[in-house]
Structure 1
């Protein structure tokens, strides 16, 4: 009897409290939420945007409109990702410029290469650019061959690595070459800013022209012509709808390509 009472007392002492029971009840839901988040992260954004737009358009209109809406949503998502990548690259370049300025200043003040590199990495606002700069300075032989499709950040780091190799082999001043790379990046940033300002008017005009067909549909519906029904329910209207969407997408893509080529 005493043994049973001791076991019962031990079980009561080991029994989880209300907070632990609530955490245990919430754990399956948390696991499902984590699995859903991982699944959503694994699905590409253009595919997710296309599926969502097609589903909404399919419920609200015809299958043809759903297909066109899905394609347009995928293209818009790709354009958004490209724009976001460009913003990240600009931020990385700006952080690299500041890190190069700190590195050159530390080297000119007589600090050792390791100490100057640590200071430059600490001054870099972008962690990825800071780590890449540290690799380029401390292990320049790893990036000896620059890939032909490297972006501007990769090209700048390749030049820093080449300067570090040259300094290690010949004993020349690394601060002067790092300062030259910094000045070149600053000049390129100013040039890109000027080109962005020069092409802002063209981009605004392209966006305005792209919105005119939608404005025409709204005005037609306002006067009672109902152009949307004609475009989605008649054979001629569907052909015109497909052709119009194709021309719209082609015009936007061509204007964006012209702007990208001008900004480069």
Structure 2
């Protein structure tokens, strides 16, 4: 293992400083958004394989879990932003309708003033309404491209009920606005209540690392065991750790969805 570590470090260095294609070095290709090259991920795995066959799958499990949690956090932020934008758009539409504006004009104004996915969805609904299409159908179609499909489906049902039963569209949309606001408030309260559970999850996830440090402090060499005859224990422990993180994240994400 002592000779494997320097060899692994040299392999990582050699792979990372390898020159790229000539056209990139000469600046002949247009600049595009930079993405992490596959080599940057493959190099640590190859180096880890020189130390222990159990390390690459363990690293892959941890990396996949980190990617999944980061993606879930991004979806949660997108959903919160869309809910906030939709609530603002509904408030604007209600204000326009109550002063006598036509529903299509209120839709168009809300679409112009609202950004992000909610604004794009309202623009599509406005275009469909101006072409003579059914607004409820356009609102239901917007749910397919939304991080909050339930909000758009409920809005489509509300609009259809207003048309079928002759209800004042301003009052129906005001009720839809209150529904969105209450769901946002409830999601915020649940998220605040789950802060302790999330902190506990993070602490429990760090306990294996603390155990390794305590083992070293007591004079043992847990890393040598885990990268040697205890490779199966390393994989099993990593599997339990990542499964617990993903399961806890799934529970909290479902509870805090706006």
**TM class by shorter-chain length?**
0.7 to 0.9
Q: Does 1:196 align with 2:191?
A: yes
Please report how far the alpha carbon of residue 248 of structure 1 lies from its aligned counterpart in structure 2 after TM superposition.
1.2
Check if 1:73 corresponds to 2:83. no
Which of residues 239, 245, 250 in structure 2 aligns to 1:252?
245
Give distance in 2, aligned partners of 1:134 and 1:98.
15
Alpha-carbon deviation of 1:164? 3.3
Write the mapping of 1:90-169 to structure 2, written as runs, cut at 5 A: 90-124=80-114, 126-136=115-125, 138=129, 139=133, 140-143=135-138, 153-169=148-164
Q: 1:26, CA displacement in angstroms? A: 9.1
State the shift of 1:186 in Å: 0.4
* Pair 1:50–1:130, CA change in 2 (3 A): same
More helix as a share of residues: 1
Q: Which moved more, 1:74-83 or 1:197-206?
A: 74-83
Distance in 1 between the 2:147 and 2:239 partners?
A: 33
C-alpha distance after superposition, 1:69-100 (max 9, x if no partner) = 01220121022112101111110111010000
**Offset of residue 163 of structure 1:** 3.3
CA distance in 2, matches of 1:98, 1:157: 14
For the 8 Å contact 1:49–1:70, the answer to whether it is kept is no
Instruction: State the structure with more CA Rg.
Output: 1
Q: Work out the number of aligned pairs and report it.
A: 229
2:15 aligned residue: none
Q: For CA contacts below 8 A with separation 6 or more, give which structure has more relative contact order.
A: 2
- The verdict on how the C-alpha distance between 1:32 and 1:146 changes in structure 2, with shifts beyond 3 A counting, is closer
User: Unmatched 5+ residue regions in structure 2?
Assistant: 1-22
Select which of 194, 200, 205 maps to 1:205: 200
Residues of 1 paired with 2:39 and 2:100: CA distance? 54
- Counterpart position of 2:29: 31
* Residues 25-52 of structure 1: per-residue CA shift (max 9 Å, x gap): 9996251643xx58x49x9xxx898646
Match of 2:227, SS state, is: helix
In structure 2, C-alpha distance between the alignment counterparts of 1:144 and 1:128, rounded to whole Å: 13
Give the CA deviation at 1:171: 4.1
Aligned to 2:4: none
Closer, same or farther in 2 for the Cα pair 1:92/1:232, shift >3 Å?
same
Q: Which whole-Å CA distance do the structure 2 matches of 1:49 and 1:81 have between them?
A: 20
TM-aligned CA deviation for residue 155 of structure 1: 2.2
